Structure 1
Amino acid sequence: MKILVCGATGFVGHHFTAALREAGHTVIRGIRKPSQPDDIAVDYCKDTTKEAWLPKLAGIDVVINAVGVLRDSVKQPMALLLEQTPIALFSACQEAGVKHIVQISALGVDKGIETAYFQRRRAPEAYLNNLPDSISCLILRPSVIYGDDGASAKMFRFLAQLPVHGLPAGGNQRLQPVHIDDICAAVNRWLADTNAHSQTVAAVGLEATDMRGMLDSYRQQLQHSQALHINIPAFIIKLSALMGDVIPASPLCSDTLTMLNAGNTADSAAFTQLLGRPPKSYQTFINRGLA
């Protein structure tokens, strides 16, 4: 199939591109600055209408939207990147005859947490759920995604290697890390299924843990002895989040703290069925080369 991957230079989109090509698909990278013969120029800050997308979808069988941003900013406004432009793209897909759409959303979007990030993520999901049956849609809601080259994975590996772990509010925040390889494999398997139907799936790892457990496991996989744990009081984390509200580059702000404290876990049964096997455990993520 001919597949357009939007956000192909990002962490998730880059892995999708490689996995889909390995499976024999023709992948068109939708990126801001094309550099390869099969690239096309897309800009989520400018291509905000159906009319802007229609010429880009000629001959496309599948569209994968892997564009995402965690913080709102002037250069990367959530209103466009997470809501208006994806909806314009999906509207164009319907008119252009695209057969399949894959939307990378976020775990917890349906929990009623009123952060700007979750609010913007809900609208494209609602739009896809109202498309006719002639288009099959896969909405994946991943937990924290691990990949050796991922920015968050690099950060967590660095923290895990420190002899002292400063744990925000004790590190009890629940999460269920999922490996990028499993996400790519699940999408490839769904596309290969001639009877694939529209579905929304929580993309999570084999089991849940908490921040402390994840860092301890990563440290063990990196072949280090047990770290010293120090609790960082909740009021200090809240203060840091308030400071992050005025620093766009900071990954920690009031909204991200709210989402972190709300937990990021789900039953893995649906993802196991989609994948055709149990997903990987966070306890086996780190390969020996990195260790």
Structure 2
Amino acid sequence: MRVVIVGASGFLGRAMAEAFAHRGADLLCTARNADEARAEAAWPQAHAQWISADLAEVPPASFWLAQLRPGDVVVNAAGILREGRAGEFDAVHHRGPVQLFEACATAGAALVIQVSALGAAPDAAGGYFSSKGEADRHLRQCRVASAVVQPSLVWGDEGASARLFAALAVMPMLLLPGGGRQWLQPVHLHDVVAGVLALAEARPVGRRTLAFVGPEPLNLRDYLADLRRQLGYAHAAWVLPMPVTLFRFGAMLAGRWKSSFLDAETAGMLLQGNAAPADDFAHWLGHAPRSHRAFVPAHRVQALRRAAWLQWMLPLLRWAVALVWMWTFVVSIGLYPRDQSLALLARVAASGGWAELLLDGAAVFDLALGIGTLALPAAWRSRVLWPLQLALIAFYTAAITWAMPEFWLHPFGPLSKNLPMCAAIALLWTMEPPTRRNARAAPKPPGEPPWNTSS
């Protein structure tokens, strides 16, 4: 059996590709950047071929026909949670898959598995659900055996939603829209993968739609409470209701940050909630799906709890460091008596116009460091900003130690407090996402479509 996995570098697609690879299946995997995805794949590559294909560019059916073989099992796991540009939901979730499905029917694929979402429908509110629903509807009309699988909220340690809910679960107090009464039926990643494996190996004929859900529905408040207990907390969080309009407004603001899981679209999905019977899913698994009460294994509790707190503390620490630099600018430029600042500079052999220039220049530089702490991308922070801040603090500390050693004995600790400041900066530096080991693929020659095969 050869399995074609579209979107094999994503959260779900990567897990499915790894599972099929360990089963010894021949794989054809697609990703936006095939070379990069292949290098990052942590599973056996002996029977895997990679090609570059970006559904956002809507590769035509002819492209897929050149890759497919009769009898293939095709899994479409490509998807995005947030749009990078207008119309991307429609391209990635609807128009791109339609071309793929048409090619599967023409090529004689044995089975097409469409990874959709619980709640997807052509007339659903929101671009995510409606675009998924349009593709589901088209697949059901194609002359090819198909299974539309609709997972609920998927829990996996590396998933964006799991990180978000774990970060919420550790908080001692929560503001939840409507008090957290929205219905959910979270499902574990391993069960989703196992369900897809079972379908691929059985290769059923006909067309079916399956809800991939946990064994029972529950509301958001109870889900977070159960996660909190699994993460080692004996006492429940204090939950306060948040007006839905305020939640939507906050989600809209959060959506301005590209890295944010929450935006107006995902907020609407959360408020909508969803649940479905788990009987069909349990049939394909051969057992009941894993309960949400067993999502966090004992050996992962400490690591997940630490990661959950870092979700909150790293942004707060970054803001704190930025505000220290900005406040230093405010104090240096005017709040602190200028004559006393110049007197201090005189003790390090700076006087006259040179001292004035040094004071103003250093203050503006501090302001730039504060703004850069908030505004620069992670790569620039790692390469330039954090080492520059540490070097500057080291220079200030050395100069003051040489000229004014009594500051080490000051009861307010103006120099000794540099030590935790440096530790905070070093922590932020080490926690930055690693720079990709491989350069991105070279640009395609003019006129060459972005979905050309990559060897």
TM-score by length of 2: 0.60
Identity score, percent? 31
Match of 2:274 among 264, 272, 277: 264
Instruction: Report SS of the residue matched to 2:176.
Output: strand
Greater relative contact order, per chain length (Cα 8 Å cut-off, separation 6+) = 1
Query: Which AA in structure 2 matches 1:280?
Result: R
Unmatched tracts of structure 2, length 5 or more:
39-47, 302-455
Q: Tell me what 2:157 maps to.
A: 148
Distance 1:203 1:224 in 2: 29
Partner residue in 1 for 2:126? 115
Q: Distance in 2 between matches of 1:130 and 1:222?
A: 45
Per-residue CA distance 1:49-85 (angstroms, 9 max, x = gap): 1112211224661111111112223288112101111
Contact 2:185-2:213 within 8 A present in 1 as well: yes
Superposed CA offset, 1:99-153 (max 9, x none)? 1111011111249433222221122111111122xx3211111110001221211
- Cα distance in 2 for residues equivalent to 1:290 and 1:220: 13
* Alignment partner of 1:85 is 2:96: yes
In 2: Cα distance, 1:276 partner to 1:198 partner: 20
Residues 201-221 of structure 1 show CA distances to partners (whole Å, capped at 9, x for unaligned) of 111001111111111111101
Query: CA separation in 2, counterparts of 1:247 and 1:154?
Result: 17
Q: How does 1:147-166 map to 2 (within 5 A)?
A: 147-166=156-175
Is 1:14 matched up with 2:6? Answer: no
Return the alpha-carbon distance in structure 1 between the equivalents of residues 210 and 13 of structure 2.
18
- Between the aligned partners of 1:158 and 1:114, the Cα distance in structure 2 is 27
Equivalent position of 2:248 in the other structure: 238
Q: Which shows bigger deviation, 178-187 or 43-52? A: 43-52
- Normalising by the residue count of structure 1, what TM-score does the alignment of the two structures yield? 0.91
Q: What residue is the counterpart of 1:219 in the other structure?
A: 228
Q: Tell me the amino acid that sits aligned with residue 270 of structure 2.
A: L
Q: How does 1:26-65 map to 2 (within 5 A)?
A: 26-35=26-35, 36=38, 38-58=49-69, 61-65=72-76
> For residues 188 and 251 of structure 1, what CA distance do their matches in structure 2 show?
28
Equivalent pair of 1:169/1:237 in contact (CA under 8 Å) = no
Indicate conservation of the 8 Å contact 2:32/2:53, yes or no.
Answer: yes
The amino acid that maps onto 1:204 is V
Q: Distance in 1 between matches of 2:126 and 2:76?
A: 21
C-alpha separation between the residues in 2 aligned to 1:277 and 1:286? 19
Partners of 1:140 and 1:173 in 2: how far apart?
22
Q: Is the 8 A contact 2:111 2:203 kept in 1?
A: no
Q: Is the 8 A contact 1:190 1:196 kept in 2?
A: no
- The structure that is strand-richer by fraction is 1
d(CA) in 1 for partners of 2:208, 2:244: 38
Q: What per-residue deviation string (whole Å, max 9, x for no partner) do you get for residues 207-251 of structure 1?
A: 111111111111101111222223223231122234356655543
Rg larger in 1 or in 2? 2
Q: Distance in 2 between matches of 1:246 and 1:153?
A: 21
Change (3 A) 1:194 1:46: closer
Relative to structure 1, the CA distance from residue 165 to residue 188 in structure 2 (aligned partners, 3 Å threshold; closer, same or farther) is same
**Residue 173 of structure 1 aligns with which residue?**
182
Determine the structure 1 residue equivalent to 2:82: 71
Do the aligned partners of residues 68 and 194 (structure 1) sit closer, same or farther apart at CA in structure 2, a change above 3 Å counting?
closer
1:281 aligns with 2:291: yes
Distance in 1 (alpha carbons) for counterparts of 2:53 and 2:120: 26
1:48/1:80 contact within 8 Å kept: no
What secondary structure is seen at the aligned counterpart in 2 of 1:103? strand
Partner of 1:120: helix, strand, or coil?
helix
Which deviates the most, 116-125 or 100-109?
A: 116-125
- SS of 1:57 mapped into structure 2: coil
Aligned to 1:14, what secondary structure does the other structure show? Answer: helix
Q: Is the 8 A contact 1:48 1:84 kept in 2?
A: no
Question: Given that residues 23 and 188 in structure 1 are in contact (C-alpha distance below 8 angstroms), is that contact kept between their aligned partners in structure 2?
Answer: no
Q: Classify 1:267/1:151 alpha carbon distance in 2 versus 1 (closer, same or farther; 3 Å).
A: same
Please tell me whether the aligned partners of residues 47 and 53 of structure 1 are also in contact (alpha carbons under 8 angstroms).
no
Q: Is 2:72–2:110's contact at 8 Å kept on the other side of the alignment?
A: yes
Q: Which moved more, 1:210-219 or 1:185-194?
A: 185-194
Residues 1:196 and 1:277: Cα distance change in structure 2 (over 3 Å): farther
Question: SS in structure 1 opposite 2:239?
Answer: strand
CA-atom RMSD, angstroms?
2.1
